[in-house]
């Protein structure tokens, strides 16, 4: 790989990260490509070299979010039991409580925004919820639960709901209390 190729990949990655940041802070509709270029410290004209449209850039940002979720879930595999992995997931959610109280869940917020559209981006955003949902269902199945799909929905919806509450109330402790309750709930299964 040439130095030019490396710089190009770095610039593209900075644009994706800039899009993730700006969309999370300001919402998709209020985000412009100028905002993204500024956040990425990339000349505005370069944005169109890497992404033909704002939607292409947002889709790349969604893909980056999905990879981040998958990496986080993979890191939880170091825990020996499915119960321990599920509780570690809850603790990972709780660790994000300050950010969630300030701006909400980055994945849930983006899904909610894109749900108002009926296009490829709305479909792409579904993965932000489907990936942790399938993972949680697998963990509950490994625990021998026949109602694994329902339990996974309960867990992920509890997190999304408490993220919304923490954000609306601007109270990260709401997530802390609910997280502790979710850990007790997992222990009770």
Dig out the tokens for 175 from the structure. Answer: 């997530």
Nearest partner of 117 among 29, 34, 32, judged by Cα: 29
Instruction: Give the tens place of pLDDT for each residue, 4-14.
Output: 667 779 999 99
> Is residue 142 predicted with pLDDT exceeding 80?
yes
* CATH superfamily of this structure's domain 63-188: Tetracycline Repressor, domain 2 (1.10.357.10)
pLDDT of residue 130: 97
Question: pLDDT (tens digit, 9 = 90+) per residue, 61-108?
Answer: 999 999 999 999 999 999 999 999 999 999 999 999 999 999 999 999
Q: Token match 């209020």: residue?
A: 30
Q: Give pLDDT tens digits for 10-63.
A: 999 999 999 999 999 999 999 999 999 999 999 998 899 999 999 999 999 999
Q: What is the reported pLDDT for 5?
A: 63
pLDDT of residue 117: 84
What pLDDT does 6 receive?
Answer: 75
Residue 8: predicted pLDDT: 77
Q: Which of 59-73, 92-106, 109-123, 136-150 has the lowest mean pLDDT?
A: 109-123
The predicted structure's pLDDT at residue 35: 96
Domain ranges in the chain are 1-52, 63-188
Q: Tell me the C-alpha distance between 110 and 106, whole Å.
A: 6
| pLDDT of res. 118 | 82
At residue 3, the pLDDT reads: 64
For residues 135 and 133, what is the distance between their CA atoms, to the nearest angstrom? 5
| pLDDT recorded at residue 30 | 93
User: CA angle, corner 104, sides to 99 and 110, nearest 5?
Assistant: 120
Residue 181 binned pLDDT confidence (cut-offs 50, 70, 90): very high
Burial of 77 (0-12, 13-18, 19+ CB in 10 A): exposed
Q: Indicate whether 136 pLDDT > 90.
A: yes
Look at residues 28, 187, 50 and name the one whose alpha carbon lies nearest to residue 113: 28
Written out in words, the top-level CATH class of the domain with range 1-52 is mainly alpha
């Amino acid at each position: 790989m040439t130095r030019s190729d490396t710089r190009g990949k770095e610039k593209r990655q900075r644009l994706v990260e800039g899009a993730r940041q700006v969309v999370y802070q300001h919402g998709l509709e209020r985000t412009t490509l100028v905002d993204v270029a500024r956040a990425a410290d990339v000349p505005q004209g370069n944005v169109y070299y890497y992404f033909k449209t704002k939607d292409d850039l947002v889709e790349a940002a969604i893909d980056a979010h999905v990879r981040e979720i998958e990496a986080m879930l993979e890191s939880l595999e170091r825990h020996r039991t499915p119960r321990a992995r599920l509780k570690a997931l809850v603790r990972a959610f709780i660790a994000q409580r300050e950010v969630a109280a300030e701006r909400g869940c980055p994945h849930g917020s983006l899904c909610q925004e894109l749900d108002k559209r009926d296009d490829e981006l709305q479909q792409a955003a579904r993965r932000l919820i489907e990936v942790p949902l399938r993972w949680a269902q697998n963990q509950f199945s490994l625990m021998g639960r026949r109602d694994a799909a329902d339990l996974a929905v309960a867990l992920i919806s509890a997190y999304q709901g408490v993220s919304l509450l923490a954000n609306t109330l601007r109270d990260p402790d709401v997530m802390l209390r609910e997280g502790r309750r979710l850990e007790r709930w997992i222990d009770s299964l």
